C-alpha cells in the first residue's frame, strides 16, 4: 500500500491506518528498537508506542517520507526507554559503545551540551551538512552505526564489506565529523 493512502487514513481518523502501518513497517520499527534496546519485549512496546505517537501526530503533520518519520519516532522512543532503564548505571548493548565512539568527534573546546533548542537546531544543521558531503558508502555505514545502532558485524554483513573496512570507514568518518564540528565552532 502506498504511504500516501496510509497517511490519508490517518487524516480521516481511520484506525485501519495503524494496521496498515504495522503491516508495512512493523518489522523495520522492531528492528530499529531492538538495535538500541536488545530486548524483544521492550522493542515491541516501543513499536506500539510509535503507532500511538504517529496517530497523535498525523494530522496535523503530513510527513514527506512516512518510513523516515516512523523510524525517527521509534529511535527517539527507544533512546528514551534506554535512558530510563539505565539511568543509574552504564547500560549494555550498542548505545554505550556508540556514545564512546562519538566522544571522539567532540572537539576538545566543547562545553557540556544544554537542552537549548537553538543548540540542537545548530547541531542538526551541521549534521545535515556533514552527511551531504560524505560519499554514499560512508554515509550509509555511518547512519547504520549511529542511527540504527547496527554493530560493525551487522554492517559488514549488510553491505558485503570486510569488518576492517567498516571500522576504518567509521573511524575516518568520525574524524571528518570532528573537523567539521571544530570548523563550525560547535561548543556544545
Partner 1 sequence: MDKKVNASQLLRSLSEVDDIYINEAMTELNEPVKLKSGMNRAKVTRIMGIVAAAAVVLVTSYLLLRSFGKNSNTMQTTDAPVAEAEMAAGDLRERNGSASFSAEAASGAEPEEAEEMTDGLTYDATPAENLEVDMVVPFDVDITNPVEEYDSLDELSSATGVDISVPDQVGSSVERRFFAYDLRIIEVRYLDDEGNVVCAIRKAEDLYVDISGDNECVSEILKLDLEGLDNVRVYGGTDRFTAARWTSDGNSYSIVCEPLSEADITELILSVD
Compute the distance between CA of residue 176 and CA of residue 188 in angstroms, rounded to an integer.
17
Near partner 1 by CB under 8 A, which window of 9-17, 37-45, 47-55, 132-140?
A: 132-140
Query: Other CB atoms closer than 10 Å to residue 141's CB: what's the count?
Result: 26
DSSP state of 58: T
148 contacts partner 1 (rule: CB under 8 A): yes
Compute the distance between CA of residue 104 and CA of residue 170 in angstroms, rounded to an integer.
11
Q: All 3 cell numbers of residue 83?
A: 535512558
Site for partner 1 in 19-38 (CB under 8 A): 28
23 versus 100: smaller Cβ distance to partner 1 = 100
106 contacts partner 1 (rule: CB under 8 A): yes
Q: All 3 cell numbers of residue 104?
A: 571522539
162 contacts partner 1 (rule: CB under 8 A): no
Alpha helices by DSSP H, the chain: 3-11, 16-37, 40-57, 66-85, 94-103, 117-133, 136-146, 152-159, 163-183
1 contacts partner 1 (rule: CB under 8 A): no
Site for partner 1 in 43-102 (CB under 8 A): 62-69, 71-72, 75-76, 79, 95, 98-100, 102
133 contacts partner 1 (rule: CB under 8 A): yes
Give 150: exposed, middle or buried? Use CB within 10 Å, 0-12, 13-18, 19+. Answer: buried
Binding residue (CB under 8 A) for partner 1 from 139, 167, 176, 180: 139
3-state secondary structure of 44: helix
* Interface contacts to partner 1, rule CB under 8 A: 2-4, 28, 62-69, 71-72, 75-76, 79, 95, 98-100, 102-103, 105-106, 110-113, 119-120, 123-124, 127-129, 131-137, 139-140, 143-144, 146-148, 158-160, 188
Amino acid at each position: 500500500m502506498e504511504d500516501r493512502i496510509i497517511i490519508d487514513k490517518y487524516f480521516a481518523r481511520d484506525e485501519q491506518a495503524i494496521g496498515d502501518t504495522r503491516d508495512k513497517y512493523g518489522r523495520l520499527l522492531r528492528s530499529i528498537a531492538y538495535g538500541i534496546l536488545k530486548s524483544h519485549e521492550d522493542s515491541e512496546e516501543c513499536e506500539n508506542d510509535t503507532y500511538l505517537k504517529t496517530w497523535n501526530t498525523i494530522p496535523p503533520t503530513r510527513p514527506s517520507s512516512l518510513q523516515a518519520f516512523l523510524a525517527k519516532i521509534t529511535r527517539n522512543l527507544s533512546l528514551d526507554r534506554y535512558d530510563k532503564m539505565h539511568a543509574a548505571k552504564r547500560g549494555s548493548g550498542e548505545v554505550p559503545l556508540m556514545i564512546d565512539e562519538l566522544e571522539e568527534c567532540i572537539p576538545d573546546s566543547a562545553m557540556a551540551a544544554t537542552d537549548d533548542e537553538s543548540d540542537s537546531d545548530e547541531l542538526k544543521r551541521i549534521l545535515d551538512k556533514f552527511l551531504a558531503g560524505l560519499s554514499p558508502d560512508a554515509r550509509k555505514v555511518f547512519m547504520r552505526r549511529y542511527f540504527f545502532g547496527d554493530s560493525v558485524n551487522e554492517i559488514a554483513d549488510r553491505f558485503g564489506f570486510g569488518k576492517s573496512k567498516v571500522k576504518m570507514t567509521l573511524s575516518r568518518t568520525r574524524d571528518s565529523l570532528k573537523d567539521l564540528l571544530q570548523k563550525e565552532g560547535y561548543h556544545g
